[in-house]
């Protein structure tokens, strides 16, 4: 069965940057299970899966525009430390939820001074071209429940409380 919209795809992946530095891999734990066409994966990887079948192993390079987009300087902001109220342990690398014009967003603290905090709302992989090593383990039709919930269910259900 070929991968197309509304197929469940179970895969292993390893992703690295342009210098072949490993960023993430599923090979040392459980494979990833997704429904093709739901936008769970970055566009470039989802597109590359189309028409592959179980057993396929391939590499794909995904340009930043088809991955996490380009970096935007406007997503980096320095704000007064007192805006964070009672949060005392703000350190470089801390992830926070911020309310923006586009709704809730994760930002990462990139600098801390006595009076100010600088946060970056860019995805950590924004602006990076990525390389994926992919192994397709299984391709099957998604069930009606999976399609209505928008994600793959395990054999014992999806974990939602009904």
In this predicted structure, the answer to whether residue 54 has a pLDDT above a threshold of 90 is: yes
Per-residue pLDDT tens over the stretch 95-135: 988 877 777 888 999 999 989 999 999 999 999 999 999 99
What confidence score (pLDDT) does residue 155 get? 62
Helix ranges (DSSP H) in 62-105? none
Helix ranges (DSSP H) in the chain? 43-49, 144-149
- CATH code of the domain containing 42: 3.10.50.40
The structural domain count of the chain equals 2
62 conformational bin, left if phi > 0, alpha if psi -120 to 50, beta if neither: beta
Q: What residue numbers bound the domain in which 52 lies?
A: 7-68+126-149
Instruction: Please compute the mean of the pLDDT values over residues 11-39 and round it to a whole number.
Output: 96
Closest CA to 9 of 77, 44, 43, 56: 56
Q: Which residue has the higher pLDDT, 157 or 27?
A: 27
In this predicted structure, the answer to whether residue 74 has a pLDDT above a threshold of 50 is: yes
pTM for the predicted model, two decimal places = 0.81
Q: Specify whether the CB–CB gap between 61 and 133 falls below 8 A.
A: no
Instruction: Please compute the mean of the pLDDT values over residues 62-72 and round it to a whole number.
Output: 96
Whether residue 2 lies inside any domain: the answer is no
Instruction: Please compute the mean of the pLDDT values over residues 51-57 and round it to a whole number.
Output: 98
Same-domain check for residues 115 and 131: no
Q: Specify whether the CB–CB gap between 66 and 44 falls below 8 A.
A: yes
Looking at every residue in the chain, the average pLDDT score rounds to 90
Q: Specify whether the CB–CB gap between 159 and 41 falls below 8 A.
A: no
Same-domain check for residues 11 and 62: yes
- CATH code of the domain containing 89: 2.40.10.330
Same-domain check for residues 142 and 89: no
């Amino acid at each position: 069965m070929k991968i197309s919209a509304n197929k469940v795809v179970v895969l292993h992946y390893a992703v690295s940057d342009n210098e072949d530095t490993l960023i993430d891999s599923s090979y040392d734990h459980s494979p990833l299970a997704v429904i093709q066409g739901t936008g769970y994966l970055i566009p470039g990887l989802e597109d590359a899966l189309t028409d592959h079948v179980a057993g396929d192993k391939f590499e794909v390079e995904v340009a930043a525009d088809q991955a996490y987009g380009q970096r935007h300087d406007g997503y980096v902001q320095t704000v007064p430390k007192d805006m964070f109220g009672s949060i005392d342990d703000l350190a470089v690398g801390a992830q926070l939820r911020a309310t923006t014009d586009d709704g809730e967003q994760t930002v990462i603290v990139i600098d801390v001074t006595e009076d100010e905090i600088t946060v970056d709302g860019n995805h950590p992989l924004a602006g990076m071209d990525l390389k994926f090593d992919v192994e397709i383990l299984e391709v099957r039709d998604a069930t009606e429940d999976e399609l209505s919930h928008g994600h793959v269910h395990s054999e014992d259900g999806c974990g939602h409380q009904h």
